[in-house]
Amino acid sequence: MNEIYLYAPAKINLTLDIISKRPDGYHNISSVMQTISLSDSIKIEKTRLPGVKILSNINWLAKDENNLVYRIASDLINEYNLDFGVRIKLFKRIPIGAGLAGGSADCAATLKGMIELFDLRISTCKAYKICERYGADVPFCFMGGTALAKGIGNILHRLPNHPKTYVLLAKPKFSLSTEKIYKMIKAKDMRLSDPKKIINAIKFKNRKAIAANFHNTFESIVTSSHPIIAQIKETMIKNGGLGACMSGSGPTVFGYYDNFEDAKKTASLIENTFPPTKTYFAKTL
């Protein structure tokens, strides 16, 4: 095998609670995470040239150590003394800086691809440990599906399969720094999380109950300076959405829909009402 193709699906946070600040500066969280069908595409090719070369449809995307795909591929080549370099073609569909873990998804997919392409003897447990080096969302992106994430996002508990649901995503023009948003968290924003309601709703395939229990601690913090978040949520809910919430540290808002036509009509309304917000369609995986 000389090349491999992979998809790197985005994630949304159905719940996200900040539990406490850690001595190392990170935060303990509790979050129900869900993989969706919006995804990037990755092609990894063996080359006789040493090192890693990144190609992308996004001209300004970092193609060096500032890109997680470059870093993990380069580290694996060095750690396992591989005799080949790699050329990686990365086609981005997941918006960048959107709270959808696009970079983490690409990193996790690259790890999967490198393991298969080079037949690396890496156990699943070892793979998760590798993922932890590159960011809090990378372990979940490696796992995929539906999971409760704790710790800094690295302690994962697989949940029952989520019922298939239409998802509308709306990404305002601006992007947000996860690091800066975390720094804005105050003690009053932190609370003990009880995800039982949404987990039970997932177990019983109750889409309305799942949507009724969406929650994101960051949402009120981001909305205070970016009221468009609340406005997009309201638009989704008033136009057929079962529920809506901001994902991650934002600014993307997602809404659940029973049928695609309602999602399609809402997408058009959002893009016309809040330009230049961009919308995307997906399904839960």
Predicted confidence band at 57 (pLDDT cuts at 50, 70, 90)?
very high
pTM score, two decimals?
Answer: 0.95
Domain boundary among 108, 135, 158: 158
The catalytic site residues sit at 11, 137
Question: Does residue 227 sit in the same domain as residue 262?
Answer: yes
Q: What pLDDT is recorded for position 184?
A: 83
Mean pLDDT of all residues belonging to the chain: 95
Q: What pLDDT is recorded for position 38?
A: 98
d(CA 126, CA 78): 16
Q: What pLDDT is recorded for position 24?
A: 85
Q: Are 272 and 246 in contact (CB under 8 A)?
A: no
**CATH number of the domain that residue 107 is part of:** 3.30.230.10
Per-residue pLDDT at 193 exceeds 70: no
Instruction: Note down the domain range covering 253.
Output: 166-283
Within 8 A by CB and 6+ apart from 226, the residues are 172, 174, 250, 251
Question: Does residue 30 sit in the same domain as residue 111?
Answer: yes
Percent share of the chain, pLDDT over 70: 99
Give the total number of structural domains in the chain. Answer: 2
Q: What pLDDT is recorded for position 33?
A: 98
Q: What is the pLDDT of residues 70-91, one digit of tens each?
A: 999 999 999 999 999 999 999 9
Question: Does residue 16 sit in the same domain as residue 124?
Answer: yes
Q: Are 92 and 61 in contact (CB under 8 A)?
A: yes
